[in-house]
Chain A
């Protein structure tokens, strides 16, 4: 699928997601993550790193950033450009943090035009697990229930004796804390 086709397909889905459609949001995330996985693997390979687990780490960090920056999307602009720009920023940040020179990453848009989607997820390393350990216990239990047991937020909230809204807020804060943890790790103070 060319990038233009992907854009044509994803834009209405993402706009529906922004309006509150959680199912559309999931479709968007699945499609864009396959695309970004290919993009990140390709760019990492250029800097001499071809371990899929590393690309998966950067992908997870990028997805968290996309999620927490949904409000920065300009609705009249291409959603694929928005997503790739964030992925690129997170990749450069990752390279800088891990002591790799990012200077030879292509600045133009060509690479993401060419990168093929990769739907085969690799195992990420332990970064996100470690980020989760930094969460408050109750938030962590909520997260575990929703992600592992596939419980809905309403069910998980019931187990914890919270309202659904409170549970959503707690998970949102948890995701924020995880993103912060990831972007701080390995950075000199």
Chain B
């Protein structure tokens, strides 16, 4: 087939195109993935018994804000990484802002506490559960974002992988906050960050080969 023929064929079958579709689909997919993940979590791990009272307390709000802000920033990056010609890689450091803020907050908390409490403040009771469950519950949002990425044109598979992983980890952190009984800022800063980083790392390594088009 000659190139001119191909062009005629494409022009003849051309139809109006909605360039906002990817953006809307990204937000919708994230909202649905978060709701379903939270529902699954509520029905498997269950919510913390004192959730109604705890939800308005600072540590729980901090967890929700932490996961939510990482997810928001990463979803913007993710969506842009599906559009060739933009340079979203420059924006990747933005995802570190919530981490830096919570790390500063955690250091402040530790500095004000006596040294013998550090162990309790950092490890809490269930750090293993956090490290295991956040990545586990991130699998559903990650699968949804992977399907979405295949509808875009990812030319930088690692960036798409990294941002999808960060976003899924952030969403899973929001859901896990409904269950997590450990309410210290150093706990949040260390284990939530590590859990999200774990998802991002796996996703950065695994997604590129699934995203070739």
Contacts and interface: CB of A to CB of B under 8 A. Distances in A.
Interface of A: 17-20, 22-23, 25-26, 29-30, 33, 56, 59-60, 63-65, 67, 69-75, 77-79, 81-86, 88-89, 93, 121, 123-124, 128-129, 132, 143, 146-148, 150, 152-153, 167-168, 171-172, 175, 183
Nearest to B13: A171
Contact of A30 (B7, B21, B83, B84): B7
A123 B11 contact: no
B56 interface: no
B16 A153 contact: no
Contacts of A83: 85
Nearest to A152: B12
Interface string B135-166: 00000000000000000110100000000000
Given A71-B18, A74-B86, A82-B83, A124 B2 contact: yes
A122 to B, nearest CB: 9
B10 interface: yes
Interface in B1-33: 1-19, 21-22
13 contacts: A56-B3, A63-B3, A71-B17, A71-B18, A71-B22, A73-B83, A74-B80, A74-B83, A78-B85, A83-B85, A86-B155, A146-B12, A172-B15
A175 B7 contact: no
B1 A64 contact: no
A124 B1 contact: yes
Contacts of B14: 17, 20, 22, 25
Contacts of A153: 12-13
Contacts of A79: 85
A34 B80 CA distance: 27
A77 B5 CA distance: 29
Given A18-B19, A71-B18, 15 more contacts: A22-B14, A25-B10, A59-B3, A64-B10, A71-B17, A72-B84, A73-B85, A74-B83, A79-B85, A82-B85, A84-B85, A93-B212, A128-B1, A147-B6, A175-B13
A125 B12 CA distance: 24
A131 to B, nearest CB: 9
Nearest to B25: A71
A167 B182 CA distance: 60
B3 A60 contact: yes
A124 B164 CA distance: 38
Contact of A150 (B8, B82, B86): B8
Given A18-B19, A93-B212, A128-B1, A29 B7 contact: yes
A130 B16 CA distance: 29
B11 A22 contact: yes
Nearest to B7: A29
Contacts of B15: 20, 168, 172
Given A65-B153, A73-B19, A75-B19, A132 B1 contact: yes
A96 to B, nearest CB: 9
A185 to B, nearest CB: 13
A77 B155 contact: no
Contacts of A19: 16
Interface string B83-103: 111100000000000000000
